[in-house]
Amino acid sequence: MSDPALGLTMLALIVVVIMMGFPTAFTLMGLGMFFGFFALHDASQSWTQNHVFDLMVQRTYGAMTNDTLISIPLFVLMGYVMERGALVDKMFYSVQLAFRRVPASLAVATLVICTFWGIASGLVGAVVVLMGVIAFNPMLKAGYDVRLASGVITAGGTLGILIPPSVMIIVYAAVAGQSVVKLYASAMFPGFFLALLYLIYIVGWALINPKIAPRLPESETKVPVPAWVSRLQQAYSRNMLLTLLRAVVSPARALQIEADGVRVGYGMLLKNLLAAVFPLVLTAAMSWLVWWYVVIHQQATVELDTPAPAAVAQKALPPAANEPPNVAADKVEELGRDQQSAPAASSSDEELQQIGSPELLKGGPATPAEQGPDTSFYIWFWISVGGVFALLAYYYWRLEADQFEILKLLTSSVMPLGILTIVVLAVILFGITTATESAAVGAAGAYLLAIQAGTLDWKRVKESVFLTAKTTAMVCWLFVGSALFSAVFALLGGQQLVEHWVLSFELSPVQFMILSQAIIFVLGWPLEWTEIIVIFVPIFLPLLKHFNIDPILWGTLVFVNLQAAFLSPPVAMSAFYLKGVSPPHVTLNQIFAGMMPYMVVIILCMVMMYVWPGMTLWLPNYLYGGG
Amino acid sequence: MKVQRFLLLVDHVSTWCGKASAWLIILLTAAVCIEVFKRYLLNAPTAWSFDADYMIYGTLFMMCGAYTLAQDAHVRGDFLYSSMKPRMQAGLDLVLYVVFFLPGIAALSYAGWDFAHASWLINEHVNDTADGPPVYQFKTVIPIAGTLVLLQGLAEIVRCVVCLRTGEWPKRLKDVEEIDVVEEQLAHSEYVDEESRKRALESVHEIDDAARQRSSTMGAER
């Protein structure tokens, strides 16, 4: 048998053995070992000196020193701590109250919580079960359509694997040699866009046919207002902001209030005032951050650039470049030794350029972010700031006791988690620290938040640590196995054969795009995302160059695609999770029927992403420049 | 029963090593956070900090390989597998453990031993940075982790044999699972009605298993 034929046998075998259900990491290792042993067999040496052993240990060591994978345990830890620290049912309750005047408010609240949870962690099963208990029964009780209720939970639950910081994106970055940060930036848009499309779909359906989502009765949406707040309102004014401000300035009347055994103290007033002005502070801080990043930070960098480029290179490097250049050099060396195929060499060149040399990065054309803002930015910035502050003014004007109670609930349940994730993502995206550093700070922050929320105990610390260890080991051992497997596959020339074969069809880029996404979609039925990204995606990657397809865009499409695959009946796991917690009268078919429209929405989203790639690539290009 | 004791003993060894190494994640978090503080706020970066970081990470995941195997937490394409009878599963697993697992992991341990040995002999240090930290101890992790996984793999093979004879999978050590977060969340919930909470708490693990097998028998029984 010729070498390339051996390579193809290897590929066929891996598919068969994976379907047999053996742990994939060891399948890859074993197959790689066998085929590598024959490929590298040299009759002049004893078999114990076969080079496959060197290859194996080198590839393993490569995975152990991989500077992209290192952020996996940190992000995973952050997720596990957050999902233990956050109070999901309280979040759901407060969000649902906040949206109580929106059509299909319970479904909207479910979607919001799922999106939030998606930011925190990427576990599909747990979120579907949890939302099934917290939200499904209330929705059914309120008379919601079963399909609407089940669809929103299953579709919302799978969002978690897409929305950054997601482990899937890191693994893809490591496989494709792309920057994690760029992929995060490009996945931001589809993640939240998809959530928005779901939202439009739910609200639109509820508006067209109000019967499917009846409004909750007044008694269920009534916000409990503590007696002392009402008394305070009577003493000062109806508007809570004015009330609290005046109470803080002249507390004499407030301090006399005593209701239901609660004695109003000055500290209490201050605390409530802080909660009341929280949205204002948050909006101001966000606007200032955008202003600082676009105007002040960039101009300071540009000014510094001329006299002392070295200093700037230190400061303005995109995160991936903070790693020592030698790591990249090492990697190139290693790849060069292990793989003789052309695509590997070219991809390692790219990697070198991307990671290794600040000079190259600075030498290229300045990113749009570095060129400084043009006038349209100022116009848009002030219009949006004006709009947001007008909304806030309206909100404060209408702020009465029940609104204020909702605000307090929101600030105590949703805000801490929200702020932590926004900070972690912003710090990564703005290139202030590397993804690894942000992940570590995020994990530490998650612990602090959990302590502050009073939900952290020794048992949970232990659980989060052990779960992190298991998940990391699962992903990284898979990576060790596939590193050996793909090296041997390329060595045998299997990769080249596949390439020639695909190229012989003379597909147009659109056809190739559709074909590759369709294959991945089908693979998504029986397999988990880890196996797809680590084993099958690398086969497509070298082909992207022939078709002039941006690996960032293609990768982002894969992430969205897998969402659809995980929602397709009859293999979607989330449907079975939901069925497990739902009352007996809900049938599996009803759940599947509920999921179908969301698949259509996802495919719509993919078409839009392909037709207007600018939507996906705008953020990464804006922040880090084209290419 | 001697076999069961052997299995649990191996499980204990793997789990203990894995759990001990799992705590490295806290060390890694702390190390990176301290470095962030030093680099960005004090402007005093440490040259060897990145080397230390990946060494912690590499040790962490390698040493947890056997623990993960002991918990059967390595990802498998369980679409068909999970709907098979235990005997069928065990038969397939047994063959594949012998054909793929043993040679692969044995080769890793053997090659890792040479790799580490050579590193010790030359007293190897990281050569990316001047005064780099030593790497021989880090490279030694490969043969140690390989041997642990090999040992656990032998236990898994014994498990398959036991299952082939009795038709039932021998027990594993109990450990935290991802789905446990549901219990944690619901235990503290204030806004969920008592009945659905109790029902979910009782059946959460069965729901997890059933969903993995893509079967809805769970719900139909009730």
Q: Which residue has the higher pLDDT, A191 or B188?
A: A191
Q: Tell me how far apart the alpha carbons of residues A258 and A264 are, in angstroms, rounded to a whole number.
A: 6
B182 and A126 in contact by Cβ < 8 A?
A: yes
Upper half-sphere CA count for residue B53 (Cβ side, 13 Å): 28
B176 and A577 in contact by Cβ < 8 A?
A: no
pLDDT at A307: 47
A88 and B185 in contact by Cβ < 8 A?
A: yes
Residues in chain A: 627
Distances (CA, A) of A397 to A147, A400, B191: 39, 8, 30
B184 and A84 in contact by Cβ < 8 A?
A: yes
Q: Is the pLDDT of residue B159 over 50?
A: yes
Q: Tell me how far apart the alpha carbons of residues B26 and B43 are, in angstroms, rounded to a whole number.
A: 24
Q: What is the four-CA torsion angle of A160, A164, A167, A168, rounded to 10 degrees?
A: 80
**Helix A401-413 and helix A415-429: axis angle, to 10°?**
50
- The whole model's pTM is what? 0.84
Q: Which residue has the higher pLDDT, A255 or B65?
A: B65
Distances (CA, A) of A569 to A129, A131, A149, A224, A391: 18, 20, 17, 42, 42
Q: How far is A350 from chain B (nearest CA, A)?
A: 20
Q: Is the pLDDT of residue B22 over 60?
A: yes
pLDDT at B26: 93
pLDDT at B172: 83
pLDDT at B126: 82
Q: How far is B104 from chain A (nearest CA, A)?
A: 4
A132 and B74 in contact by Cβ < 8 A?
A: no
pLDDT at A361: 43
Does A604 contact B at CB distance below 8 Å? no
For residue B145, the chain A residues in CB contact (below 8 A) are none
Q: Tell me how far apart the alpha carbons of residues A161 and A64 are, in angstroms, rounded to a whole number.
A: 24
pLDDT at A617: 83
Q: Tell me how far apart the alpha carbons of residues A300 and B159 are, in angstroms, rounded to a whole number.
A: 65
Per the omega criterion (within 30 degrees of 0), is the bond before A373 cis?
no
CB within 8 Å of chain B, chain A residues 531-550: 531
A324 by Cβ neighbours in 10 Å (0-12 / 13-18 / 19+) ranks as middle
pLDDT at B60: 93
Helix (H, G, I), strand (E, B) or coil at B83: coil
Q: Confidence band (pLDDT; 50, 70, 90) for B21?
A: very high
pLDDT at A360: 42
Give per-residue pLDDT as tens, B204-222: 888 887 777 776 554 333 3
Q: How far is A88 from chain B (nearest CA, A)?
A: 7
Are A24 and B76 a contacting pair, CB within 8 Å?
yes
How many pairs of residues across A and B have Cβ atoms under 8 Å apart? Answer: 312
Consecutive 10-residue averages of pLDDT for chain A (627 residues): 78 86 90 86 75 87 89 89 82 85 87 82 78 87 88 88 84 89 86 89 89 77 75 76 78 72 74 80 84 73 51 42 42 42 41 41 52 74 87 81 80 79 79 83 87 82 91 91 89 84 86 90 85 88 87 90 83 84 86 89 88 82 70
- Cβ count within 10 A of residue B124: 16
Q: Is the pLDDT of residue B5 over 80?
A: yes
Q: Mutation test of the interface with chain A: which of B48, B115, B178, choosing the one with the most A Cβ atoms within 10 A?
A: B178
In degrees and rounded to multiples of 5, residue B125 shows phi and psi of: -120, 160
- The ipTM estimated for the assembled molecules is 0.92
Q: Tell me how far apart the alpha carbons of residues A296 and A378 are, in angstroms, rounded to a whole number.
A: 13
The DSSP string of A205-250 is: HHHH-GGGSPPPPHHHHPPP--HHHHHHHHHS-SSHHHHHHHHHHS
Which run of H or E residues covers position B55? helix B49-63
pLDDT at B218: 44
Q: Tell me how far apart the alpha carbons of residues A145 and A213 are, in angstroms, rounded to a whole number.
A: 6
pLDDT at B19: 92
